Copies of this chain bind each other. A is one copy, B any other.
Amino acid sequence: MVVTDPDILGAYRQDRALDPDAGIALALVRPNTTEQVSAVVRWAHERRVPIVPRGAGTGLSGGATAQHGALLLSTEKMREISVDTVTRTAVVQPGLLNAEVKRAVAAHGLWYPPDPSSFEICSIGGNAATNAGGLCCVKYGVTTDYVLGMEVVLADGTAVRLGGPRLKDSAGLSLTKLFVGSEGTLGIITELTLRLLPAQPPQSTVVATFPTVTAATDAILAITGALRPSMLEFMDSVAINAVEDELRMGLDREAAGLLVARSDAPGEHAGHEADLMLAACEKAGATEAFRTDDEQEGEAFCAARRFAIPAVERKGPLLLEDVGVPLPRLGDLVTGIAEIARTRDVLISVIAHAGDGNTHPLIVHDPNNPDESERAHLAFGEIMDLAISLGGTITGEHGVGRLKKAWLPDQLGPDVMTLTRRIKDALDPHGILNPGAVL
């Protein structure tokens, strides 16, 4: 069970944040059961050996970066699922991929909404650990809204069950919710009870291009002010062209911004809402805007949006941001990012889950060019400073990990940091759980 082969350990050294400062781990364990996780943590607890927990390793904030002398605990082999159609819940182990959960529940006519762009490769345990979001969150909320209960192994190896398949439960503290988004710093999630919805109705899709970013953000505010789209995504000019380079879909290369908006209102109401969104885009000055009720055609544009990160990545390694702001400040954020790109002379592409104010500025840089790399990292920090100054967050859905922790005190302030530290110390007094992440 315990792997110490340096080649294998090497493959587990980083997550998708590709932190160059990753350490050399002591060993890797890939337990199959909660009991095994408990045994490993108990062993580590007694010897004060740090543990870095890990799902599928697709994290973008370095939450699973290996630390010197730490034990890597991967949940990849914990892959069971059972679906209960009566309570409309699923009990899942953390190693399943998000897409596998979606498929398993879809076989019962049910739907697990949260949909990170990486849903085909990210694990459901990692989703819970980071309180992951996605594209449908603008209407359907984030991971925490779907976690009704869990089994979690605490810092001393004790496994506890929290919550359960009940929509309502006010008995005791909201511990389930505390562990969601704790990035492996308070415990290791070994099972989740997820709330499911009936299958999503067919969606109507609107695609619109805009001559200016301001026109696009005007359309976003008009849409969210009038109704609740099931998706509202933005790509800037750089992203449009990067995607068009790869996919040749006929996207307008001259556009400053592109929106993909969807409605899943029942029956013909999806079309009605799509018409309202179409009109809002036209009124805001769209150069082109069209609606399709064809699921496959709509899905192709969503796939294009999901493909934006890999497409921009062809231009060079990315520093990937996850800043969010209250919706009325979205325009200020996008404008400010363009200003930072100009000042620092780096290429920054902005894509966004526009409907909920969560953006992913992608900073392209050549790590072999020290000057450019330094300017990119300065821009990386300045974008988080900007988001904080606009009343926003340094991370909407990826988590703080190790990459963003230097900025967390600026967002939360000293008193909330003290509060956070108190809870961490109470639950992990020897600091063995994912040390260096978040705090």
Partner of A141, one of B167, B327, B413, B415: B167
Q: Are B138 and A175 in contact (CB under 8 A)?
A: no
Instruction: Annotate A411-439 by CB proximity to B: 1 below 8 A, 0 otherwise.
Output: 11101100110111111000000000010
Give A69-106 as 1s and 0s: 1 = Cβ < 8 Å from B's Cβ atoms: 00000000000000011111000000000000000000
A207 to B: closest C-beta gap in Å: 23
Residues of B contacting A356 in the complex (Cβ-Cβ under 8 angstroms): 166-168
A163 → chain B closest CB, angstroms: 9
A138 to chain B minimum Cβ distance, whole angstroms, is: 7
With A and B bound together, what is the CA distance between A200 and B75 in angstroms? 42
Contacting A167 at CB < 8 Å: which of B142, B158, B400? B142
Q: For chain A, give the interface size range.
A: 35 or more
| A412 and B171 contacting across the interface, CB-CB below 8 Å | yes
Interface residues of A in 292-335 (CB under 8 A from B): 322, 324-328
A74 shortest CB reach to chain B, Å = 21
Which A228-255 residues have C-beta < 8 A from chain B? 228
Residue of B at shortest CB range from A411? B171
Chain B residue numbers with a CB within 8 Å of A145 are: 141, 145
> Nearest chain B CB to A375's CB is how many angstroms away?
25
**Most B Cβ at <10 Å: residue of A173, A266, A419:** A173
Interface residues of A in 158-188 (CB under 8 A from B): 158-162, 164-175, 177-178, 180-182, 185-186
> Is A58 at the interface (CB under 8 A from chain B)?
no
Contact A427–B419 (Cβ < 8 Å): yes
Known: A269-B266, A412-B172. A198 touches B166 (CB 8 A): no
CB of A422 to closest CB in B, whole Å: 5
Residue ID in chain B nearest A265 by CB atoms = B266
**Contact residues, A366-413 vs B (CB, 8 A):** 391-400, 404, 408, 411-413
Nearest CB on B from A385, distance (A): 14
Given the known interface contacts A161-B416, A175-B419, the answer about A357 and B166 at a Cβ–Cβ threshold of 8 Å is yes
Question: Given A197-B228, A393-B166, A396-B166, are A221 and B142 also a contact pair (CB < 8 Å)?
Answer: no
Give the contact stretch, choosing among A24-32, A129-137, A341-349.
Answer: A129-137
Q: A174 touching B171 by the CB < 8 A rule?
A: no
Chain B residues whose C-beta falls within 8 Å of the C-beta of A398 in the assembled complex: 170
A227 in the interface (beta carbon within 8 A): yes
Q: Would A400 and B87 count as touching, CB distance under 8 A? A: no
| A353 touches B (CB below 8 Å) | yes
Q: Are B88 and A224 in contact (CB under 8 A)?
A: yes
In the assembled complex, the Cα of A130 lies from the Cα of B87 at a distance in Å of 23
Q: Is A267 an interface residue (CB 8 A)?
A: yes
| With A170-B397, A172-B412, A175-B420: A228-B86 Cβ-Cβ less than 8 Å | no
- Complex CA gap A170/B394 in Å reads 8
Shortest Cβ distance from A131 into chain B, in angstroms?
Answer: 5
- List the 6 closest pairs (A to B, CB-CB), nearest first: A177-B177, A426-B426, A168-B396, A167-B356, A169-B393, A422-B426
Q: List 5 A-B contacts (CB under 8 A).
A: A137-B167, A142-B168, A154-B419, A161-B416, A175-B416
Q: With contacts A162-B416, A174-B177, A423-B423 known, what are 20 further pairs, Cβ within 8 A?
A: A84-B328, A88-B224, A133-B170, A142-B168, A154-B419, A158-B415, A160-B415, A166-B326, A167-B358, A168-B353, A168-B357, A168-B358, A168-B393, A170-B400, A173-B182, A173-B186, A266-B269, A419-B427, A422-B426, A425-B426
Interfacial residues, chain A to chain B (CB-CB below 8 A): 84-88, 130-133, 137-138, 141-142, 144-145, 154, 158-162, 164-175, 177-178, 180-182, 185-186, 197-198, 221, 224-225, 227-228, 265-267, 269, 322, 324-328, 353, 356-358, 391-400, 404, 408, 411-413, 415-416, 419-420, 422-427, 438
